[in-house]
Structures are given as C-alpha cells and as structure tokens.
Structure 1
Amino acid sequence: MQTQAITVSDALLGSDFITHGATRVQVVDGFIQSVTSDVASESGPRRLLMPAFANAHDHGRPLSTTSFGAGGKPLETWLLRLAAIPSVDPYLAAVAALGRAAEGGCAAVMIHCTRPQGLTPLAEEVEAVARAATDVGVRLAFAVALRDRNPVVYGDETPVVKALPPQAREVLGRYFRTPSQSWREQLALVDDIATKLGGGNVNVQYGPTGVQWCSDEMLAGIAEVSASTGRRVHMHLLETRYQREYADRLYPGGVVRYLHDIGLLSPRLTLAHCVWARPDELALIAESGATIAVNTSSNLHLHSGIAPLRRMLDSGCRVALGLDGCALDEDDDALRELRLGALLHAAPGFGDPTYRGQMLRAATAHGRASLGLAGTGSIAQGEPADWITLDLDHLDRDGILRVDPQDLLFARANKTHLDEVVVAGKTIVQRGKLVSLDLDQVQEELRDRFRRALSERSDFCASWPEIESAVTQYYHERAGCC
C-alpha cells in the first residue's frame, strides 16, 4: 500500500469549485482517501490545488502545423496541407504531443487519430502511442479515425481535378485517393485494437471523422455497434460554414436529427466543435446526453468561427474543453484556453455567477467523462488522485491583499504558473517540466527528423499552390448556396 499526503494553502473543491483555504489531501494507492479543509497552513511556498484538466479533443500532432506551412488557412485547405508533414516515429510523435499536454495542465488526453504516421500497421502504432502515454504519465483515450468518402472536398471533386495541370492532378490522386477498407473492416479494426491493448489504461473509441467524410452506411453501422458494445464514439460536427452547407444539402431534415434517428446521438457520443449548430440542434444534443467538445483557439486559428458556448450551456448541453492541437499560442496551454473561453463567452454585465464553475467542469469533469475515464474529476474521497497545483506566490505577483485564488486563476493563469501535475498520485510534471522525459530534447529530435525527411514531400509542396487555388475556388463557388 502506497500512501502520501499534500497540504496546500488553498484548494478549489466541490462541484462549484469553491475556495476552501488550507487543505490536506491524503492518497492511498492512487486514490484520494480523505480531504480535510481548514487545516493549519504549512510554512513555505503557497500552492493552489485543483482538479487536473482533461483535453477532450486532440489529434496528437508532434509539432505545430504552422511550422509546415499550414498557418492562416481555413480548415478545408489546412487539412490538405497537412500532407506536407512527413511520417516519423509514432512513439516520439506521441511523446511530444502528450508531453506538451501534461506541461499544459492535462492529466488525460483524447487523441482522435485522423492522420496516423502509417509506418507500421495501425494496431502497432496505437500500441506505441499507448506506451508514450504510460511513459509521459497521462491517461489516454484513443479514437480510431473512420471515413469512406470525400477525401479532397465535400462532394464531387471533379471540378478540382479538372482545374489542375497534369502533374498536380497526379500528386492529388497519389496523396488523397488511396484505396481504403470497407466501413465494416474499419469498425472491426477498432475492436481488434481494443482487444490487443487489453483494456489497460487506454479507452479505445470509434472515431468517425464527420458526416461529410462518412457514408450513411458507416454512420449507421457505428451507431449499431456502439449501442451493442457500449463503446464510445468521438466525431467532428459542424465545424465550418462549408460543413454546415454540405450537411444542409445532404440532410434537409437536419443533420443532428439524422444522427438522432439512426441512434448515434446518445450519452456515448462526443461531438467536437458544433460551431455552426443551431438552437434546435443544441436542444436535441442536450436531450440526448451527448457531450460537445469546444475548441475555441483552434476555431479562431482556422477561421471556423466562434462556437455558441453560452447557448450550449443555456440549452443544457454537457460541454467539455478541447485543445485540438492548436491552443492560442500553439503551446497546449490548457489554463490559458480555459481563460480564453471564459472571457469570450461570458454573459455581459453582471452575467451568471455560476459561469466559472461551468467552465471548470468543462475542463475537468465533463472532459474526463467524454474520455470514458473513471471518476468525476473532483478533489474528493474515493476519486482518482489527479490534480494540478499552481504556484500562488507567482500567480499572486503583487501580494497586496487576500484575493480569491479563483479570481487570479481566471485573470492571468497559464502554464508558467504550474507547480505540479499529479496523475494517480504520481507527479508527472514538476515546476512546469515533465518528470520522466526531457520534452525539449524529444522535440528537437523530431525537428531534426522532419528537416531530413522534408524531401519526401517535395512533390506535394511543389504542386501545393495549384491544389490550394483549385480547392479555394471550389468552395468560393459554393459558398452561401443554401
């Protein structure tokens, strides 16, 4: 039996994250045994204890996509530009992504693997990612990407192909029109991967990439097997205006209503983004018990718009916090992402006094549930010992008078204020740095490998201006058609 204890000067406890002053937490074998408030404060640095964050939507990219020429592009061309990124060791790639998440305050991460490295069979790659999560120390959910249509644009790609000169046309076909397995084979692969991982510490989920990339047969099949197995589903929905327009053409009765009718809309489902969801759709999502993973910074970077988070909450939707590999400064800082969401979506004027609690639940409890992890994401008896501590001496930089730490948290906290990240009672980040691995060294190794491998994608990069122009024209001609 392993026991430990921590005493902090302040703690955010309960479902409303009320400040409880000096608090002592005792841990046995990775679970919280007791929480005692109003204890005698120990001398030394002041610390604020709160539940660790869960990143409810990410893709596990090894480095910033801006570094590969994808900055400033809307999603529809940004996705295609990712083909410029060479494949690298999946273990190193996952260590980099998960290590940044940990140093940003997350104890758990969802990786929706939409672009596997492809150097080994997918099952082996997932095992490498799981090993990386163990070595970093974070909890992991892994959604296996599923898709069977629209590799280039939403709909018939003939106009794009015709607009390209022969060389660019050949490059487009080679990179994006590769043969794929049937949807039944893809679903069977998810279950095979889950079996090979043996349950363990990884929650494997079905990962349909979105209605624009999945046939009706695939979506209905996923709904059926999810209902029969209880396996969770993680998918994108209505991220951009072009996805909204495509969905309206394809599902005139409403795309969310369609998901409901086939049985996909359920408490087992997490929907990433929903930027362009309508009020009636949000009401239906709320009624179903599904979770929406909101990715504020990513939507801003990719010109997708601003998700109606306030309306989601008012509709009763369960909302979680996602980083989508694209936090505001491309640094996986979950604390800053929390603050940005709160500032951007708070009601004007005196607003809602419960709003901060809603945002904190999104970053902790709801995100954790969407990953299929045990526990409620709170600091309480019987809960997994997953928490972060912030350096209050650093956060309260002026030290003028006693200020509620929650005010400081929402005013200025970022990952530089992290003291520790603890998962199952084990410290995985200390003084802002990963304990088990040298993340800076890992990322430098990846940079070196990418630089040496860039020539592998020289044909794509050479044809990119023509491909980007043709795809941009495709969407321009269809914008506002519905």
Structure 2
Amino acid sequence: MSENLLVGGWVVTGVENRDRATVLRDAAVVHRDGIVVEVGDAEAMRRKYPAAPTYGSSKHVVLPGFVNSHHHVGLTPLQLGSPDYALELWFASRISGRAVDLTLDTLYSAFEMLASGITTVQHIHGWIPGPLSHIHACSTKVLDAYRMLGMRASYCFAVREQNRLVYEADEDFLKRLPAETAALLAPHLERQRMPFADYLTLFDQLTVENRGQSLTRIQLAPANLHWVTDDGLLALKEKADAARVPMHMHLLETVYQKEYARRRTGTTAVKHLHRLGLLGPGMTLGHGVWLTEEDIEVAASTGTCICHNCSSNLRLRSGVAPLNAFEAKGVTVGMGLDEAGINEDRDMLQEMRLALRVHRVPGMREADVPSCPQVLKMATEGGAMTTAFGASIGRLEAGRMADAVLIDVERAFYPYQDDDVPMLDALIQRAKTEHVDATVVGGKLVYEKGRFLNVDRDKVLAEIAEALARPRTEAEKTSRVLRRQVFPHVEAFYADYLKDMPAREPFYAPSSRT
C-alpha cells in the first residue's frame, strides 16, 4: 500500500500536559498500511510523497481519533423503557428491557460514536443470559458489527458471580420477597448465572478467533466488587497476566457501593484490590466517583487508570467524581460515555465540554479546574491506555495507528472566533458533531459528512424500528410483570443501607447552605 496524506490547517499530534498540546500549522499526517509514518509541514510532505493521495484541507483540524473508554449497549435504557433512576434502582427497572438483535444494536450506537469522531470503543458486554454457547454467539455478533463498520473495539464480557440484583446473595434477597414475586425472580436470576470457568473459556475462545484482526482486541472485566468474589478476582488477574491483557472494572460508582465495600472488606474497595494485587497500569476503574483521598494516592502510585463517566454519573445520581484530584495526583484518566451521554447519544465533543465545566469549582487558580488540553487527553491518549490497544493509538505520531478525526473549523467557528483564544480551546468549547467532516480508522475513511462508507445507516435504523414495532413476546410480557413486582422490594432493600455509614467529607464545596 502506498502512502496517504491527511492534511489540515492544524494537526494536533497529542497532548503533552494539562496546559499544552502539540499543534502543528499547515501540516500533514503521512500514513501507510494503517500506520502513521511521519507528521510534518504539509508542503514538505507533498514534495516528499508526490504520488500520495491527499485528504483534508486548510480549513480542517486533524486530531487523534477519540476513545470511548466505557460503553455497553446500543439502544439506550431510556429508549427501552427505563427512566434515569438511581443506579441500584435502575438495575431493577431494566429487567423489562426488550431484546434487540445485537448486530443492529451495536451498529446503532457505533454510528453515533463514529459521527462524533470516536474511532475506538471499550465495549464492556454483559447481562446476557447463558449458556456459554449463546453468550459466545452474542459476543461474536458484537465484534463482527464493529469490524463490518470499520471501527476499533476493545471487547470484554463482564464477569458476575453473585449478588445479581442487589448487594447481597441472590438466595438471601429471594427470601425477602413474597412467594409470587420470588417465583418470578428466581428463574430470571438463574438464567443470568454462568459457571466461572465458562467466563474464562469465553475469553479463550474469543482470543483465538480474534487472531489476525486489526480492529478488535479482547480483554477481561471483573464486573464490580459486589459481583465478583475474591477468588474470582485473583483468578481473573492470573488470566490477564498470562494473556497480557488489561482489565476494566466498575468500581465505586455510587455511595452504596462504597458502603458495600466497607461491610465486605473492612476497608475501601481500592485498598482491598491493592491488597489482592489487582491494581496497576493494566487495571482501569470505571467511574471511581467515591474514591477517598487515600484511594487516589494508591491509584496514582500503582499507575492504575480511571475512566471518568461524567454524563452517566449525573444521570444516575451517582455523584461527581473528584476529577481535579485525579489530575493533581497524575492519575491516567480516560473518558467514557457509558450507556449514553447527557443528551441521550454518544457525542464525545459534548462529553468533553461537560467534563470541562462540571468540575469548575469556585476560585481563581486555573490549575484547580480542568483544562481543554486535559479533557482532550482524556478522550484520546488517556482513554487509549484503558484499552487493549494501549499506546498503539491515542496520538498522531510515527508508529501509531492512523486513527483520526477531521473537524471543519471554518464552520465550527463561523461567523467569528478571535485568535486571542487558542485554537484548541475554541475547538473543544465550540465544535459539535455536525462539524465533524470525516473519521479515519487505520488510515481508512469510514465516515464522511453524514455518510457511513461501509454500512447503510438508514437500513439499519429501519430494521430496528420494524423489529420493535412488533408486539411484545410472552417472555417480554413476563419480564414486564417481574419488573413491576420486584422494583419496590429493591427500593426497600436500600432504604436504610447507609444508616451506619461513617460521616464523609466531600471533595467539592460548590455552595453554602448557611
């Protein structure tokens, strides 16, 4: 394959620190066989590679492709009938979610991601009833959908051994319920049960089948502390080390999870994982809203990554993660859109702005609040390090994969943008999905001006609409009844859950009651 050039009036090769990104004027990214060869002055690159096809223009900003570091489903829970409850109640409300073909479902959200410049996604799959053969078929559908579309995916199937609905053993929770409700819930929970060995078999199968694939990689995911035993965590760590793959683990998303960890371990969830030897650069903690100051020190000292899911934390009343403290301690932080962003979509440009502004605590020092380069790094290189692709993506420099997004700065800044504001700051705060002209993955154009080059979006959406227009199946009707019966009992379970929790002091103090 010959060389190709991505040209821009500005090329952002990467972020060096919270104050500075490397921005080249009138530059070109040279790539061959999906890999960046060099980056330099556009005219010099044209002279050096006179036969190379060129894409882009002086009105474009070329940035590293964005990385969505935490993702689960296509159609959102809200679309499928589940309002934005607090997380623990939300799980119960999702019991009645309708089944959607996983090829169509995966493509649905992937369209939104690619259109906002996301080139790689961390797809954390789960909550699929067994047996192993069925789950393997579901996993394959998801992976094939990303390959079909031309998008990168780091895939893992979340391991859940216990406590499948609330933060206590399934059998104990069933005893709390009226006989009629327990009789409905028991088979539902049983269908969610899969032998631990089958999770490892699934990983092995997918790993073997993924060999030779450039767009997809397989990793591991202990779903959360309350869902996995200590023996399970240790076995997953052993498997990850042997296979040399990272792990992604939901942790401390809510205050209820913080209290669960105290009851189970006598310490914090982070300290418990550290004691087990699970922390390090190969572990990403998803959410991390309720980390303590000491927890953040441990995460920083071990090189553990954190994925910040700003929209999800706000929508599900989980809290506001101490992002400013993460940054001050040098923690590697990625950015995730989780089930959906603040506007019920997967818009990474919007998510960067949200993270930039939610953490703007009162005061005068700029070092105390997020910066535009910082949130861009979270959405690119920081996110890359939470996936199985690691340092092979996230920056536009020689040897890395040629994943890029081209944004039309003329339209983004129209009718005026004063140049006293640095270009990148203006871009992060003003550019919208409609200004994304092209998304490039592995040197290949996969999205251009509203059009997906490999899959017919309109056809996919029509198929989804047709499928969900059909009447509910008997199984879906039963799950709807189950949801209505079990929801108040889940609510009652948590009513006094925090009554003995020690007093806490917040990281942020954005108001004054007295």
Note the 1:69-468 alignment, pairs <5 A: 69-116=81-128, 121-156=134-169, 161=174, 164-178=177-191, 180-198=193-211, 200-201=213-214, 202-346=216-360, 348-352=363-367, 355-373=371-389, 374-399=391-416, 401-402=418-419, 404-452=422-470, 454-455=472-473, 456-468=475-487
Any idea what the Cα deviations from partners look like across 1:348-374, whole Å, max 9, x if unmatched? Answer: 424129832222111111211221215
For structure 2, the 5+ residue unaligned runs are: 47-54, 502-514
- Number of paired residues? 481
Once the two structures are TM-superposed, the CA of residue 264 in structure 1 deviates from its matched residue by 1.1
Question: Which amino acid counterpart does residue 10 of structure 1 have in structure 2?
Answer: W
**TM-superposed deviation, 1:45:** 6.7
**Pairwise CA distance, 1:266:** 1.8
Structure 2: distance between partners of 1:242 and 1:43: 49
Contact 2:162/2:170 (CA < 8 Å) preserved in 1?
Answer: no
SS of 1:385's equivalent? coil
Moved more, 166-175 or 319-328: 166-175
Q: Deviations over 1:418-475 (max 9, x none)?
A: 1111111111111143222222431332232133263331122134233111111110
- Output the CA distance in 2 between the equivalents of 1:401 and 1:254: 48
Shift of 1:412: 2.0
Number of the residue aligned with 1:20: 24
* d(CA) in 2 for partners of 1:462, 1:185: 30
**Structure 1 runs, 4 residues or longer, greater than 6 Å off:** 40-45
TM-superposition CA deviations, 1:161-184 (whole Å, max 9, x none): 456444332222222233633323
Who is 1:481 aligned against? 500
Q: CA deviation at 1:43?
A: 11
Q: CA deviation at 1:52?
A: 0.8
- The 2-side partners of 1:44 and 1:377 are apart by 22
Cα 1:118–1:179 shift into 2, 3 Å? closer
What is the alpha-carbon distance in structure 2 between the residues aligned to residue 4 and residue 289 of structure 1? 36
1:30 equivalent among 31, 34, 42: 34
Q: Are residues 127 and 179 of structure 1, via their aligned partners in 2, closer, same or farther at CA, if it must alter by over 3 Å?
A: closer
CA contact (8 A) 1:88 1:117 kept: no
Q: Which runs of 5 or more residues in structure 1 are unaligned?
A: none
* Segment drifting more, 193-202 vs 211-220: 193-202
Partner of 1:2: 2
Q: Residue type of the partner of 2:139?
A: V
CA–CA distance in structure 1, aligned partners of residues 97 and 411 of structure 2: 38
Deviation at 1:159, TM superposition (A): 7.3
For 1:31-50, what aligned pairs fall within 5 Å after superposition?
31-37=35-41, 39=43, 46-50=59-63
Alpha-carbon shift at residue 15 of structure 1 (Å): 2.8
Residues in 1 aligned to 2:161 and 2:370: alpha-carbon distance in whole angstroms = 43
1:45/1:393 contact within 8 Å kept: no
CA 1:93 to 1:453, structure 2 compared with 1: closer, same or farther past 3 Å?
farther
User: TM-score of the superposition, structure 1-length normalised?
Assistant: 0.93
The change in CA–CA distance for 1:287 and 1:440 in structure 2 (over 3 A counts) is: farther
Partners of 1:127 and 1:179 in 2: CA distance: 19
Normalization by structure 2: what TM-score? 0.87
- The one-letter code matched in structure 1 to 2:94 is L
How far apart, CA to CA, are the structure 2 residues paired with 1:2 and 1:423? 16
- Which range is displaced more, 162-171 or 394-403? 162-171
Q: What SS is found at the alignment partner of 1:109?
A: strand
**How far 1:88 moved relative to its partner?**
2.9
Distance in structure 2 (CA, Å) of the matches to 1:237 and 1:110:
16
1:357 counterpart letter in structure 2? P
Match for 2:328: what amino acid? Answer: D
Relative to 1, partners in 2 of residues 1:225 and 1:395: Cα closer, same or farther, differing over 3 Å? Answer: same
- Look up the SS of the partner of 2:289 in the other structure: coil
